[in-house]
Amino acid sequence: MAASFAQTLYVSKAWVDLRFRLIMERGPVCQQCGKIMADSSQLVGHHRKPLTPANINDVMVTLNPNNILIICRDCHEREHRRFGYHRQSVYVVYGSPCSGKVATVNQLATRGDLILDIDKLFACISGLPVHDKPDNLRFNVFALRDKMIDMIKTRYGKWNDAWVIGGYPNKTDRERLAEDLGAELIYCGSTKAECLARAAALQGDWAKWVEKWWSEYEP
């Protein structure tokens, strides 16, 4: 995972907006290996000049486009030599649809981490795009989610860190989940307007889900 002093940067509005803009400008291509990524959430921002506690508040380092490469997760792993990491911490990453939850986890997670994303579970068992979630599969999807949650709670397996991605607009629900898992909550704090703007650029009825989340959100 990214050093603790850098976590606040990677969930900030300034970083989310900059990463999104750079991908739009440069295209969904890894600037390191040249791989074209159909899923742009698999692209992360890599700082040419590494972040340190001494420069984390220097925007000419942290938010300077000339200091940032857009690269795939495989290349990011190689850049940081992030293999053999065995600590088991748990993070619940929550926020509105289109707030950048998946991109944030991909930025922070390392090889060998366990990532639980209910959208990906739906896609895995349905074979459909992530925005298409048939109601008749919800029982199976939630059963799989609950099994994975139990594995995370009991620290079952040899995974490194675990990341639970979800909306969790209800404050009581997310705080109870974090307590049960011994997890840290990470909020992706994009505004409603920002989420709707991103939703407009995506296939599917994401705007409806953004509106629903904000109608239920309890800060």
| 105 and 209 housed in the same domain | yes
| 96 and 22 housed in the same domain | no
Query: d(Cα 43, Cα 160) in Å, to the nearest integer?
Result: 21
pLDDT in tens for each of the 219 residues of the chain? 566 778 889 989 999 999 999 999 999 999 999 999 999 999 999 998 888 888 999 999 999 999 999 999 888 877 765 544 445 889 999 999 999 999 999 999 988 999 999 999 999 999 998 888 899 999 999 999 999 999 999 889 989 899 999 999 999 999 999 999 989 999 999 999 999 999 998 888 899 999 999 999 999
| 205 and 134 housed in the same domain | yes
- Please report the pLDDT score of residue 7 as a whole number: 83
Query: d(Cα 2, Cα 117) in Å, to the nearest integer?
Result: 20
- Please report the pLDDT score of residue 2 as a whole number: 61
Q: Which residue segment(s) compose the domain that 205 sits in?
A: 83-219
Quick one: CA dihedral 207, 134, 103, 5, positive or negative?
positive
| 64 and 109 housed in the same domain | no
pTM score over 0.85 = no
Number of domains in the chain: 2
- Please report the pLDDT score of residue 127 as a whole number: 95
- Please report the pLDDT score of residue 86 as a whole number: 47
Phi, psi of 136 (to 5 degrees): -70, -10
